[in-house]
Structure formats: structure tokens, C-alpha cells
Amino acid sequence: MKVLVTGSAGFIGSAVTLRLLARGDEVVGIDNLNDYYDVALKEARLARHADHPGYTHLTIDLADRAAMEAAFAEHRPRRVVHLAAQAGVRYAAVNPHAYAASNLTGFLHILEGCRHHAIEHLVFASTSSVYGANTRTPFSEHDGTAHPLTFYAATKKANEMMAHAYAHLYAIPSTGLRFFTVYGPWGRPDMAPMVFTRKILAGEPIPVFNHGRHSRSFTYIDDVVEGVVHSLDRIPTGDPSWNGEQPDPASSAAPYRIYNIGAEQPVELLHFIQLLEQNLGMRAQMEMLPLQAGDVPDTAADVTDLVRDTGYRPHVDVETGVRELVKWYRDYHQL
């Protein structure tokens, strides 16, 4: 089938594109190749599938309404995997307008495209950051998420609410995926695993917030890709047991679902750093810092619903994931 993938030069988007092409789908990719981080890395990711006969690339900004309308009208995808966004939790404090343009206005253009072109399923990226001030772990989709701690998280929570409104009003089957700390080969250079790897190899101190005492559901890229594809293949319907007097945030009477995609075993940050040291053969110089504003002490993913409904359970252990990350990093940078 023909699938529109936004963010197709991004970390997750490029990997999802490769997976869909490998199974025989046709992919129309959208990415504006902005310079939030190294454009050369985005171009290198894109080069992996740019020449595939089943791939068509469109260099479009999500906030460009006319261009987005034209893309839907010309290419008429059956399904949409929306992974493009202004990334970065902390950059939102510096340039919030970029997040409003991409994550809010851009997402509205996606929803309108789905509405006017009878898209049979929209899968979109959310984030574990929406759990915000919630401290009950593991994080469950059935828990409330009304207290995001960053503007980035707020825009992603808004995406979930916008998608639900369109699912209710226009019967657009929609699935939101809350990703947990994705890492691995071809990863974003602004995220901690890549920052740590680069600085350790350069002999520079790495910033270790909360003195390394917090834990994260570090989730390997292959697990995220499989979670996305399995979710794409399961079109949601309205939940007949949904009750407005006891509303379940994870489902709806509309064709709408929310799933966590994350490793079930959280890893303490200091242990993740130790694995990097072992695979790099170098010791890290650590600059111990307090917890940053907007950060949560711990994240842990409850993937019960994902496993039940899609049959997929993330399974790549952190030892394997870090080994593959370091191997790719050395190869890519010729170190």
C-alpha cells in the first residue's frame, strides 16, 4: 500500500521508511531537512532509501498549508505515519514558536489531509514526556497526562487531543504512540546517548544530570520501528465498553488508541554510561549536575496494551543496543 511518512530523513522516520519499503509498501516521504541538527546526517539517512523505486521524496515544511494540501491531493496515500516534529525537549524553552509551527500547525495540516482524503489510518508520534508530573510507574496509557512539564510535551499532548477530536468528528482511525528515550544507530546527535559517545571519545566531560541517579526506559530503534509498523497494521475501532462517566484516556468510543512503545526494564543512567565506557574502551569524565527543570526522575513503560493489541513486545536489551550504537558511530565517523 502507499504510506505517507513524515520526517522521513529523521532518526525514526528513516528507519520506518526502510522497513515499509522492505516489505513491499510504497512510501511518500516528507521532510524539510531543517538545520536544527547536522543536515549531513539527515541527508545520509535519506540516501539509504532515496533511490529505492518505491520511494518518493517531498521537501516540504509541515507548516506550509498549500504544499501539504497539494501533497495529499497528488499522492493520495492510504495510510499516514506522522513522525515529523520540532524535536528536542530543552530547545522548546529557547524557540517555542518553532514547536507551535511544526507540532501544532503542522499537525493540523496532517489531520486536514487525512480528513479530506479518506485516510484509512493515521499513526502519529507522541512521547513519554506527556506523563509529566505523574510519578506513578510504570507509566500506563490509562493514567492521566494533564500535567506536562515542558512546552514540547504540551504540544505532543495537544496532538493527542487534536487527533481524538478528528477521530470523533470525522471517524478518522488514529493511533498515538508514546515513545520512550529512543536510541541506536543513526540517532539524533542532540540526545544523551550520542552526546555521551561523542564527548567520551573526545576526552571531554559529559553532563550527568541528577548525578546519574535517574532511570529511563532506553528503547532501541528496531523495537520502535516494529512497534510503529505493528500499530499501523492494526486499525482501531471504537471501544464499545468506553464509559464517559469513567473515561479511559487510552481509548475512546471513537476509533482512537494510545500505546506506549518502550523497553520494560528501566536502566539507570550511570549503568548506561558504564556500558558506553565498556564498548568504547574509554572512561567517561562526568560532570555531576542537579536535575534539570522539566526533567522527570524516572520513566518506565507499561506496554501491556501494545502487546495485547498488536502482538509486539520490545525486546532488545540495553547491552545489545549500546554495542550496536557504538559500532555504528565508529563506522559512520570512521573512528
Task: List the domain boundaries for the chain.
Answer: 2-332
Q: What is the pLDDT of residues 69-127, one digit of tens each?
A: 999 999 999 999 999 999 888 888 899 999 999 999 999 999 999 999 999 999 999 99
Q: Tell me what pLDDT residue 59 has.
A: 98
pTM > 0.95: yes or no? yes
The H-assigned helical ranges of the chain are: 11-22, 39-47, 65-75, 96-99, 106-116, 151-170, 192-202, 221-232, 269-280, 304-310, 318-332
Q: What is the pLDDT of residues 127-169, one digit of tens each?
A: 999 999 998 999 999 999 999 999 999 999 999 999 999 999 9
The residue from 152, 183, 220, 256 that is catalytic is 152
Q: pLDDT-derived band of residue 291, with 50, 70 and 90 as boundaries?
A: confident
* Listed ranges 193-202, 210-219, 284-293; the one with the highest mean pLDDT: 193-202
In the predicted model, what is the mean pLDDT of residues 272-298? 91
Q: Which CATH number is 2-332 given?
A: 3.40.50.720
C-alpha span between 86 and 97 (Å, rounded): 10
Sort strands 215-216 and 219-220 into parallel, antiparallel or unpaired: unpaired
pLDDT over 80 at 54, yes or no:
yes
Active site residue 256: no
C-alpha span between 150 and 163 (Å, rounded): 20
C-alpha span between 41 and 48 (Å, rounded): 11
Contact 321, 183 (CB under 8 A): yes
SS3 111: helix
Q: Tell me what pLDDT residue 329 has.
A: 98
C-alpha span between 254 and 101 (Å, rounded): 27
